Amino acid sequence: MSEPHEEPGQLPPDLSEFESLLEYRFRDPHLLLRALTHRSYVNEHEGEGLLHNESLEFLGDAVLGFLVSSRSFRRFPELQEGALSKIKAYLVSAANLVHFARRIRLGDFMLLSKGEEKTGGRTKRAILVDAYEALIGAMYLDGGIEAASAFLVKQLEEILDTLDAEHIVFGDFKSALQERLHNLGRSEPVYRVVNEIGPDHRKTFVVQVLVDGQAIAEASGRTKKEAQQAAARIALDSMAGH
């Protein structure tokens, strides 16, 4: 009598739950598993022939850039290249990608090493951002550009509907925060890099903004400048109404 086996393409219950959150069912579940597999898990299970998500992340970053550029162009056809580039940079910033990742509970379904798990890997921004990009890459390979686009449009619409394009294009959050603090009679903000994650060619910077020695906001970005602007924006949002 043969042993019972899963149907081809069938996922464990937890990943089926994740597919429900994505509103997308993978034809090849191994692509989804790979997108969710962190390098630390592969290292911990050496010799088992597992693949981590870093090459999918590379692909997903390119697909994400193309789709966001296309969507931005269609949404703001009157804007010039420089303005569209700023909107794209804002939409694919680590601060927004980690928001997207958390909204679909991406961290809950990742395969991490025991050590990474103990140090809070499921909530680490860099891990979530990289896995989100890998997920986009996996969707592209599984269902083509249409599948990746359909998923991403649902993720982006909320932000695009409320996006103040002029503020993104012409705004300077650091200057706005400094002016806001000045009007409140408080000290000027100080920006401090508290972490640098990843290899030199794809480093993520984590920056805190401090006022009177107290951290009031934290954000990450592909460059120090991007991280500083993102932290200033978060600080301004938290001060709204004060």
Q: Find the helix or strand (DSSP H, E) in which 200 lies.
A: none
- The residue annotated as part of the active site, out of 57, 116, 130, 133, is 133
Exposed/middle/buried for 238, CB within 10 Å: 0-12, 13-18, 19+? exposed
The pTM of the whole model exceeds 0.75: no
pLDDT in tens, 51-90: 999 999 999 999 999 999 999 999 889 888 888 888 898 8
| Annotated catalytic residue 61 | yes
Sequence spans of domains, the chain: 13-163, 172-239
CATH 1.10.1520.10 fits 13-163, yes or no: yes
Q: What DSSP assignment string belongs to 67-111? A: HHHHHHHHH-TTS-HHHHHHHHHHHTSHHHHHHHHHHTTGGGG-B
pLDDT in tens, 201-238: 788 899 999 999 999 999 988 888 888 988 998 898 88
Q: Class of 172-239 per CATH?
A: alpha beta
Helix axes 54-75, 125-162, angle to 10 degrees: 10
User: Which of the following is catalytic: 57, 61, 130, 218?
Assistant: 61
pLDDT in tens, 126-138: 999 999 999 999 9
Which string of b and e fits 135-174 if b means at least 16 CB within 10 Å? bbbbbbbbbeeebbbebbeebbeeebeebebeebbebebb
